[in-house]
Structure 1
Amino acid sequence: MSVRWFSGERAVPAWPDHDRGTAYGDGLFETMRAHRGNVLWWDAHWQRLARGATALRLRLPDQARVRDEVNALLDGGDGVLKLIVTRGSGGRGYAPPPDAEPNWNLAVHPLPAVPTAGLQLRWCDTRLALQPALAGIKHCNRLEQVLARGEWSDPDVHEGLMLSQAGDVVSAIAANVFVLHEGQWKTPRIDRCGVAGVCRSWALDTLQAQEARLAVTEVEAADAVFLCNAVRGILPVARLGACTWRPHPQVAQLQRHLAAEHPAFATEVS
């Protein structure tokens, strides 16, 4: 893993002291796929980051400077690029310092293994709190996801689906979910909690999918289910608890469509 840290415009050897992201989760992050030195969906990732900065009322570093540092760090290679931006450093207490310089960090990680078959899922007991002020953005407080992922250790289970406190299906722990009913693709609304994924946005447009409140029974009765995120692309689901699905041609077609637009995913098409 390669890592670089910055405070405002200055490169620094590590996170500065009293960082509010470390103390309070007062920050944002983006996890992106890099292929041959290029970051897939860079503009969409930055737009979501900017929406998050507006919601949290924090400053972002200069985008051109970040991009220059990304290019230098990737050096033409592949990997998972993670960008973290926090409000900056401040003393004890929740009140945001008015003139804080953002602290930010770039790291490149190895690509995850490519699934050889459909995913095996489970329902999570941990539920997502309803907080519309934070819905859609990728803020640094991910304790709900940490608790959910800690619910199992079975290596045959790849992911978990999470409900909101109101009982509707929201997403997987680290991906968005789509279901097919009578020829219509649907995905949960992300207006009360959850992350509005970049790959989710691509799939919404490509499939002309509907955003809807989805019940557990609607997912379990679907004709096909897939997960998606910006690092792993389109991931067919084979099992959810006692429910099973055969490979579906529409999911395979969507995988091919994504691979045609972004060759980084070409090796992941079955």
Structure 2
Amino acid sequence: KVLEALVKLIDRNEVRRGKCRITLFDGSASKIWNGEGKDNVGILIQTAESGAAVNHLSLSVSPLPINSESPLAGVKSCNYTENLLAIENARSNGSDEAIRINQRGEITSACMANVFWIKDGRLFTPSLKTGCLSGTTREFVLEHADVSQVESGIGVLRDAEYVFLTSAGIGIVQIGRFENREFAGELHELTRMIEES
């Protein structure tokens, strides 16, 4: 039923090279108010054309921390309010995206993507203990490359040779500038290898 609805929506929206998001949510009447709520699952299907490949984004540090001890830390939900506020702050200050840190000062992710960095030929990403989301593209990279999952402060990005972001929406995007530091223009071989996997 879901696949059939997805195919119809792709056709109706004339998506030829695109992406989709399928969201399941509790559509039942609230049991808080009447105790007789009927169980019901709602489905939201969205499609869109894939945008042009983007590389060499600029990155800053968000002043809005993530609480890694929250019961919602690491939970993928439809509430992006904090992330949207953080990315709006970054853009108003001249950056495309921003790194969010947790209450211990550890890197968690970017506002709308996971973050990876390369130092001395090794690939790193924040561990789930930091409160980051376990994104699907992050998981893809973990399956196809030797990655150390760590808890690190923001200084490691300042000392990194390369930094890149991953998400289902943007794929793998290399960072061109972090704060005031410019990174090499060419794609790193690890980034290329992962993209080709």
Q: Deviations over 1:35-80 (max 9, x none)?
A: xxxxxxxxxxxxxxxxxxxxxxxxxxxxxx2222222222372223
Partner of 2:67: 129
Matched, 1:69 2:5: yes
Partner of 2:164: 226
**Pairs within 5 Å for 1:86-97:** 86-91=25-30, 93=32
Tell me how large the CA RMSD over aligned residues is.
Answer: 2.6
Aligned equivalents of 2:16, 2:105: Cα separation in 1: 42
Aligned equivalents of 1:121, 1:96: Cα separation in 2: 48
Partner of 2:124: 186
Q: Deviations over 1:5-31 (max 9, x none)?
A: xxxxxxxxxxxxxxxxxxxxxxxxxxx
Runs of 4 or more, structure 1, over 6 Å off, are 94-98
Partner of 2:146: 208
Selected match of 1:101 from 40, 63, 70 = 40
Partner of 1:161: 99
Q: CA deviation at 1:98?
A: 6.6
Contact 2:107/2:130 (<8 A) preserved:
no
Task: Please state whether the residue corresponding to 1:191 is helix, strand or coil.
Answer: helix
Partner of 1:78: 17
Partner of 1:255: 192
Letter in 2 for 1:68: E
Unaligned runs of 5+ in 1: 1-64, 262-270
Contact 2:125/2:148 (<8 A) preserved:
yes
Partner of 1:236: 174
Aligned equivalents of 2:21, 2:35: Cα separation in 1: 24
Q: CA deviation at 1:168?
A: 0.5
Contact 1:236/1:247 (<8 A) preserved:
no
Aligned equivalents of 1:145, 1:73: Cα separation in 2: 28
Task: Please state whether the residue corresponding to 1:166 is helix, strand or coil.
Answer: coil
Aligned equivalents of 2:131, 2:36: Cα separation in 1: 26
Q: Deviations over 1:220-262 (max 9, x none)?
A: 111111111122211111111112210355x34533542x44x
Selected match of 2:53 from 73, 97, 114 = 114
Q: Quick one: structure 1 residues 132 and 211, their matched pair in 2 at CA, closer, same or farther if it must change by over 3 Å?
A: farther
Contact 1:178/1:227 (<8 A) preserved:
yes
Q: Quick one: structure 1 residues 156 and 110, their matched pair in 2 at CA, closer, same or farther if it must change by over 3 Å?
A: farther
Letter in 1 for 2:162: A
Contact 2:28/2:38 (<8 A) preserved:
no
Q: Quick one: structure 1 residues 241 and 219, their matched pair in 2 at CA, closer, same or farther if it must change by over 3 Å?
A: same
Task: Please state whether the residue corresponding to 2:129 is helix, strand or coil.
Answer: coil
Matched residues, percent identical? 21
Task: Please state whether the residue corresponding to 2:152 is helix, strand or coil.
Answer: coil
Q: Deviations over 1:89-144 (max 9, x none)?
A: 323849997752111111112323322x4111111111112246434331122222
